[in-house]
């Protein structure tokens, strides 16, 4: 077995979701979940089949995001993995809808941070072992940091 570290291409620091699923209808079901959650949402999704034709299936509402998802799915190359890129939308607004898609087994991350995917490769194929999402902590928040966090969440409308 060989281990590889795949840097996710995300030049505009877009929000993305990386997960694992189990069936070809993943692409269409994620598409439906997204458009039903956020009207007018812009996204691209790509899914790596693990059997049959073993193709990368893709769709979206924005061709550039769809191509970005496709390029990253090709680089990761792990069977039954999917990646979704979002524009002007946040994972918090759609993550539960994606988790409710019957084929979705696991979400590795939802982030806009720099992302590395730890991929194992064997004679059979490739699989995701985990992710490195952003940077390591630089310390512990103090009272100023607590106040900043609380203010940010209220400005975004997530807390009252």
- How large is the average pLDDT for residues 59-66? 98
Q: How many CA atoms lie within 13 A of 158 on its CB side?
A: 9
Residue 84 has pLDDT above 90, yes or no: yes
pLDDT computed for residue 159 by the predictor: 86
Our CA angle for 148, 152, 153, nearest 5°, is 120
pLDDT band at 158 (very low <50, low <70, confident <90, very high): confident
Q: What is the tens place of the pLDDT at every residue in 98-137?
A: 999 999 999 999 999 999 999 999 999 999 999 999 999 9
Place of tokens 């807390």: 159
Superfamily classification of domain 2-155: Ta1353-like (3.40.1520.10)
Q: What is the tens place of the pLDDT at every residue in 1-60?
A: 999 999 999 999 999 999 999 998 999 999 999 999 999 999 999 999 999 999 999 999
pLDDT computed for residue 30 by the predictor: 97
Where are the domains positioned within the chain? 2-155
pLDDT computed for residue 40 by the predictor: 95
* Residue in 18, 44, 15, 45 with CA at minimum distance from that of residue 111: 15
Could you tell me if 82 and 58 are in contact, meaning their C-beta atoms sit under 8 angstroms apart?
Answer: no
pLDDT computed for residue 157 by the predictor: 87
pLDDT computed for residue 38 by the predictor: 94
* Residue in 64, 65, 66 with CA at minimum distance from that of residue 56: 66
């Amino acid at each position: 077995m060989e281990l590889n570290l795949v840097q996710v291409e995300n030049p505009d620091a877009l929000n993305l979701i990386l997960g694992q699923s189990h069936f070809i209808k993943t692409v269409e079901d994620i598409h439906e979940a997204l458009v039903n959650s956020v009207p007018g949402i812009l996204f691209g999704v790509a899914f790596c089949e693990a059997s049959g034709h073993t193709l990368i299936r893709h769709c979206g509402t924005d061709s550039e995001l769809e191509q970005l998802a496709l390029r990253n799915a090709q680089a990761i190359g792990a069977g039954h993995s999917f990646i979704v890129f979002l524009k002007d939308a946040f994972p918090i607004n759609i993550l539960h809808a994606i988790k409710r898609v019957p084929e979705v087994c696991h979400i590795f991350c939802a982030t806009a941070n720099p992302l590395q995917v730890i991929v194992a490769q064997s004679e059979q194929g490739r699989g995701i072992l985990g992710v490195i999402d952003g940077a390591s902590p630089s310390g512990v928040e103090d009272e100023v940091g607590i106040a900043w966090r609380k203010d940010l969440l209220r400005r975004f409308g997530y807390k009252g």
